[in-house]
Amino acid sequence: MTSQNVVQPDLEDVWQNYCQQMQDQLSPAVFNTWILSNPLTSVVFLDPQAATITITSPTTFHSTNLKKNFHDQIKRVFENILERSCQVNYQVGEISHSSRSRSGGARQTSQSTPFSSSSPNQIPNPSFTSNNNSDRVSTTHQTSSWQNVVPNSPRVEDLFSEHSLHSAAEDRFQAQLRGVGLRPDYTFETFAVSTSNEMAHAAATAVSNRPGQSYNPLFLYGGVGVGKTHLMHAIGNNILRNNPDIKILYCTGEEFTNDIVHAIQTKKARDFKERYRHANVLLLDDVQFIAGKNAVQEEFFHTFNALIKQLSQIVLTSDRPPHEITLLEDRLRSRFEAGLMIDIQQPSFELRTAIVLVKTKAQNIPFSIDQAKLVASKVESARKIEGVITSIRSEMELKHRQINTEMLEELLAVEVESKRPQIKVPPADVIKTVANHYKVKQSSIKGHSRVKRLVTARHVSMYLMKQELSMPLTEIGKWFAGRDHTSVLHAVRKINKESVINENLQQDISALCTTLSAVSR
Amino acid sequence: MKNKVLQENLQQSLGYVQKAIPSRPALPILSSVLITAQESVFSIVATDLYFGIKASLPAAIEDAGKVVVPGKELKEIIQSLPPGELNLSSKKNLLQISSQRTKSSIQCQVGEEYPQFPEAEGEKFSLPTQVLNVLSEKVLKSVSTDQTRPILTGVMMDFSNKGLRVVGTDGFRLAIADFSEIQVSNPNTLIIPGKVIDEVRRIAIQKNKESVDFYFSEENKQVFFSFEDVEIFSRLIDGEFPPYQKIIPQDFENKIEVQAADLHEQIKRALIFAKDSSGIIQIHYDDPSGLIIKAESPSIGSFEGLIDSAKVEGQQGVIAFNARYLIDFLQPLSEEVISISLSGALKPAKFKVSSAPNFQYIVMPFRVNS
């Protein structure tokens, strides 16, 4: 409109001027009741000849009577001040938040005017402050004065003080965690980050800060004890901390299955749907459990769609990527793959050391870095580390032993024997898995080609057959076009040596082991 | 103006409007009431511009007119007269009231100077008087009278599809009453001054009404209660109600169950000794023999009362409250069993009554110095 191009007047100046003139014409009581309590909230110049003025009153009582009794006078004063024809509008109460700051200023002026020393000719009117307007003043400053109001009895804290609100929020948070079934100690703070899991950590942090908006669904996969569940709990923890009222559902694939079975048995499918489809965040651990169960997959598919549609965050974990979960319905697989899939690798030696330090610190066990290194060198999975630390603590607490190298060696000797699960697969599967992993043909792995990629794949296959399947060297040789046992030995040694320095190779091997152990189960 | 009215009716109507006559009026004229006789309606209006009551009464109007009469004096003189017919007539600036044996003339002003009463408008709601009774008994006592925090002088009424929730708080205790039976089509939240609710209830009871209709206008920030012959106008309190949901404790370490009457008695006794220490009494739930209520005063002495029928679950401890807050809660109760849920001496405690499961009372404890 044209009003955009006209220079607008300063609201406060106009208001001050208006008050000044009105005060000269009216008695103090009338001025206070009908002018000061009804602030000017906007002045808009439409063109050089016209202006629109809005006066806001606390009640209809004020506005109707103001209009009835003072309209002509108000109009005249404004026309005098602004030197143009004025249209005066009257409205009640609601001062929108956007205009509040301006009108607040105007109103504040209205408060200070009768008392300010700069205008000694004005007589303060006690009835005005004590009766009419005192409540309106503090309404304006409600939010700021909220905490520093003097309580009317000593030593009792305000229900709505910062401290009470905070402590109530903390209690609520803890109760929520218990209700959802999340572990309070599985947070981002207690999660040790290194190259093998930094992507997953970053994605989980992003998801937890903006649930439903950053990566949906988030699919975390990796072998046993790499920290999938920890990250999932940490996401839940962080979301709840940011917003205690959000509805989080945490369950494992197995619990989800049981829930459906139970719902069907008790004919309460509706309750089930109600429960799952109204969640703001669904955390489903070990989703691979639902594979092969058709009714469950069907239900999950619908739940999944419903949640994604309403922008609820979904986080899934699995021990292998979607395309390797056999018996998973294609439509589910494609949906999982539509989100962000992140692979968490087996922890490297450095990360394991860090995990030992983080976990021992959390349990207040004094642990030196050398001792941590010792544990990390003997234990591969993060979950095992937790077990080792628990047994260390029990040794300390129950047998009152000091932590020393000897004690650790003793404990770890037991641990190492019962190391990771044996991989029991036919040798052909090893070659197949390796071929898939490196995206080469099985026949070329077995063949004679000296292409670097093939050689690595071939050596890794041999290494796995030797290390994991404990096959005799000659036997292994037969699988690779009848190679000599010395060639096999060379390959195994080479991989052994290289995996210590080459992190990529190390990760390849651990990923392959994970896949193989999954297949062998 | 010339009319005939019955003293009984006039006295009753003045009784209705008297709460709206401000004790410290912003305008001198507001300490008066407006009497209008027009088109067969005779009415009296009082207001402080934020809250107003208009009462109509039967009258024989011979000559229409409007006068403004000092409220207090008018009420006192009418009250002092015996029942029977009164003649009201105004001449210039005098209102003459004559009964059989009296003749009073009161100074008055012309009716046009009195502010005009607003019209009822907005959405219509209805509240059973029973709800108002519950509010008055359970919620209004927690509403603040301290004008420095005006929002707390209001009762928050939250109409939603789950029913009506009414909340009152003075910042030290919080009362929440839920009425799931009240259904409305449009969800709305109103903050109505506590004293207005009390006044509406008083009139509803006097008039023996089962329910009260009211009109709420968001635009005009007003609420209008209407009976056949009495209209009550109030502005709504503007502002944000404190985040009361956030401080409702969810989880407790202790639960104490006790007969309301037993606790009430002991606290009343304890309060005698606690009067000069801000009414602080202590509840000890660490003794195997039962609950012990203690109070101490350096100038009077000390008190200890045992409630051996109380059931205490959870850890042991001591918590201190302002006895008056507890008495407000216990006063209307007698046979009921109440439960006190708490988590240590510093966190708010929740009180519930077995007979009123939809009512919660949350009190902030005092810090115990020991």
Q: Which tens digit of pLDDT belongs to each residue from A293-316?
A: 888 888 889 989 999 889 899 999
Of A179-188, B50-59, B181-190, give the range with the top mean pLDDT. B50-59
Q: pLDDT band at residue B353, thresholds of 50, 70 and 90?
A: very high
Examine the pLDDT at A12 and tell me if it is beyond 90.
no
- Across the interface, do A59 and B118 touch by the CB < 8 Å criterion? yes
Q: Highest mean pLDDT: which of A15-19, A495-499, B265-269?
A: B265-269
CA distance B191 to A142: 15
Question: Of A230-244, A413-427, B92-106, which range is least confident?
Answer: A413-427
Confidence class for position B33, pLDDT limits 50, 70, 90: very high
DSSP state of B154: E
pLDDT confidence bin for B283, thresholds 50/70/90: very high
Closest chain B residue to A90, measured at CA: B220
Question: In the predicted model, what is the mean pLDDT of residues A138-166?
Answer: 53
Which chain B residue has its CA at the smallest distance from A154's CA? B278
CATH of domain A177-344: 3.40.50.300
CA distance B30 to B52: 10
Name which residue leads in pLDDT, A1 or A298.
A298
Chain A residue numbers touching B45 (CB-CB < 8 A)? none
Determine the angle formed by the axes of helices A485-501 and A503-520, rounding to 10 degrees. 120
Whether pTM exceeds 0.80? no
Distance of CA A197 to the CA centre of its chain: 17
In the DSSP assignment, the letter for residue A293 is -
User: Domain spanning B249-363 has what CATH number?
Assistant: 3.10.150.10
Residue partners of A504: CB distance under 8 A and separation at least 6: none
- Contact yes or no for A93 and B220 at CB 8 A: yes
pLDDT in tens, B289-315: 889 999 988 888 999 999 998 999 888
pLDDT value at residue B5: 92
Quick count: other Cβ atoms within 10 Å of Cβ B92?
Answer: 6
d(CA A58, CA A93): 4
pLDDT of residue A154 exceeding 50: no
Of B27, B217, B364, Cβ closest to residue A156: B364
pLDDT in tens, A337-379: 888 888 888 888 888 888 888 888 888 888 888 888 888 887 7
Which pLDDT score is estimated for A145? 35
Taking the CB of residue B124, how many other CB atoms lie within 10 A of it?
12
Domain ranges of chain A: 2-135, 177-344, 363-417, 427-520
Res A132 pLDDT > 70:
no
The count of CB pairs under 8 A between chains A and B is 160
Residue A4 has a pLDDT of: 56
Q: Which residue ranges make up each domain of chain B?
A: 2-113, 123-245, 249-363
Write down the pLDDT at residue A152.
Answer: 41
Please state, in angstroms and rounded to a whole number, the distance separating the CA atoms of residues B66 and B114: 10
CATH topology of domain B123-245: DNA Polymerase III; Chain A, domain 2 (3.10.150)
Question: Looking at residues A41-55, what average pLDDT do you find?
Answer: 86
User: What is residue B270's predicted lDDT score, i.e. its pLDDT?
Assistant: 93
pLDDT at B368: 67
pLDDT tens digits, residue range B125-168?
888 999 999 999 899 999 998 888 889 999 999 988 888 999 99
Quick check: B97 pLDDT over 90? yes
Which of A156-160, B224-228, B309-313 is the least confident region? A156-160
To the nearest whole number, what is the mean pLDDT of chain B? 89
Give the per-residue pLDDT at A361: 83
**Percent helix, strand and coil across chain A, each to the nearest 5:** 60, 10, 30
Residue type, position A132, single letter: N
pLDDT at A382 over 80: no
User: What is the average pLDDT across A210-220?
Assistant: 88
Is residue A107's pLDDT more than 60? no
Per the CB < 8 A criterion, the answer to whether A156 and B168 are in contact is no
pLDDT recorded at residue A130: 36
Fold match flag (B2-113 vs B123-245):
yes
Is the pLDDT reported for residue A112 higher than 60? no
Strand pairing class (A281-285; A313-318) = parallel
The CATH class, in words, for A2-135 is: alpha beta
Of A29, A159, A160, the CB nearest to B26: A29
Q: Look at the alpha carbons of A137, A142, A145, A149 in this order and tell me if their dihedral is positive or negative.
A: positive
pLDDT at A496 over 70: yes
B119, B124, B125, B126: CA torsion to nearest 10: 80
User: Three-state DSSP class for A347?
Assistant: coil
Using the Cβ of A156 and the Cβ atoms of chain B, whether some distance falls under 8 Å is answered with yes
Strand partners, A52: A44, A87
pLDDT at A131: 38
Q: If you average pLDDT over every residue of chain A, what do you get? A: 79
Q: What is residue B369's predicted lDDT score, i.e. its pLDDT? A: 61
Whether residue A243 lies within 8 A of chain B, CB to CB, comes out as no
Using alpha carbons only, give the angle A376, A380, A385 rounded to the nearest 5 degrees.
65
- What number of helices (H) and strands (E) belong to chain A? 24, 8
Band of pLDDT at residue A156, cut at 50, 70 and 90 = low
How sure is the predictor about A146, in pLDDT bands with cuts at 50, 70 and 90?
Answer: very low
Residue from A89, A155, A159 to probe the interface with B (highest B Cβ count within 10 Å)? A159
CB-based contact B172 A153, cutoff 8 Å:
yes
What does CATH list as the number for A427-520?
1.10.1750.10
Comparing A142 with B38, which gets the higher pLDDT? Answer: B38
Do A92 and B169 make contact, defined as CB atoms within 8 angstroms? no
* Distance of alpha carbon B159 from alpha carbon B186, whole angstroms: 8
Q: Secondary structure of chain B in the HEC alphabet? A: CEEEEEHHHHHHHHHHHHHHCCCCCCCHHHHEEEEEEECCEEEEEEECCCEEEEEEECCEEEECEEEEEEHHHHHHHHHHCCCCEEEEEEECCEEEEECCCCEEEEECEEHHHCCCCCCCCCEEEEEEHHHHHHHHHHHHHHCCCCCCCHHHHEEEEEEECCEEEEEEECCCEEEEEEECCCCCCCCEEEEEEHHHHHHHHHHHHHCCCCEEEEEEECCCCEEEEECCCEEEEEECCCCCCCCHHHHCCCCCCEEEEEEHHHHHHHHHHHHHHHHHHCCEEEEEEEECCEEEEEEEECCCEEEEEEECCCEEECCCCEEEEEHHHHHHHHCCCCCCEEEEEECCCCCCEEEEECCEEEEEEEECCECCCC
What integer is the mean pLDDT of A16-40?
A: 87
Crossing angle (nearest 10°) for helices A452-467 and A503-520: 50
Q: In chain B, what residues touch A61 (CB-CB under 8 Å)?
A: 47, 49-50, 52, 115, 117-118, 233, 235
Q: What is the reported pLDDT for B196?
A: 92
Read off the pLDDT band of A115 (50, 70, 90). Answer: very low
Backbone angles phi, psi at A169, to 5 degrees: -65, -40
Does residue A305 sit at the B interface (CB-CB below 8 Å)? no
Q: Flag whether pLDDT at B6 surpasses 90.
A: yes
pLDDT band for A450, please (50, 70, 90 cuts): confident
User: Does the structure's ipTM exceed the value 0.85?
Assistant: no
Q: What is the pLDDT of residue A469?
A: 82
Rounded percentage of chain B residues whose pLDDT exceeds 90: 51
Q: Which residue in the block uniquely carries the two structure tokens 């040798």?
A: A427
pLDDT band at B352 (very low <50, low <70, confident <90, very high): very high
Residue A141 has pLDDT above 60, yes or no: no
Q: Give the HSE-up count for residue B310: Cα atoms under 13 Å, Cβ half-sphere.
A: 31
Report whether pLDDT(A518) > 60.
Answer: yes
Q: Are A429 and A516 in contact (CB under 8 A)?
A: yes
pLDDT digit string (tens) for A261-294? 888 888 888 888 888 888 899 999 998 888 888 8
- How far is residue B213's CA from residue B283's CA, in Å, rounded to a whole number? 44
Least Cα distance to A341 among A361, A358, A321, A324 occurs for A321
For B47, which residue in chain A has the nearest alpha carbon? A61
**Residue tagged 């509803």 (tokens):** B204
Q: Which residues of B are less than 8 Å from A168 in CB distance?
A: 246-249, 347-348
The residue with tokens 């209700």 is: A179
- Rounded Cα distance between B321 and B361, Å, is 13
Helix A294-309 to helix A253-265 angle (10° resolution) is: 100
Model confidence pLDDT, tens digit, residues A414-432: 665 555 556 778 888 888 8
Asked whether the predicted pLDDT for residue A118 surpasses 70, the reply is no
A131 vs B48: CB contact, 8 Å cut-off?
Answer: yes
pLDDT tens profile A199-212: 889 999 999 998 88
A100 touches chain B (CB under 8 A): no
Query: In chain B, which residues have their Cβ closer than 8 Å to the Cβ of A62?
Result: 49
B345 phi/psi in degrees, rounded to 5: -80, -10
Q: Do the chains contact at A64 and B116, CB–CB below 8 Å? A: yes
* Apex A297 CA angle, A293 and A302, nearest 5: 160
Q: What is the pLDDT of residue B13?
A: 93
Instruction: Compute CA B182 distance to the chain's CA centroid, rounded to the nearest angstrom.
Output: 20
Whether residue A151 is predicted with pLDDT greater than 50 in this model: the reply is no
Instruction: Give residue B200's pLDDT.
Output: 93
Q: Which residues fall within 8 angstroms of residue B245, CB to CB, at 6 or more apart? A: none
Neighboring chain B residues of A157 at a CB cutoff of 8 Å:
346, 364, 367
Amino acid, single-letter form, for residue B197: I
pLDDT band at A99, cuts 50/70/90? very low
Check whether B359 has a pLDDT greater than 90: yes
Architecture of domain B2-113 in CATH?
A: Roll (3.10)
Taking residues B204-214, what's their average pLDDT? 90
| Cβ distance of B242 and A143 shorter than 8 Å | no
Tell me, what's the pLDDT at B155? Answer: 94
A138 touches chain B (CB under 8 A): yes
Cα A14 versus chain centre, distance: 49
Specify the pLDDT at position A116.
33
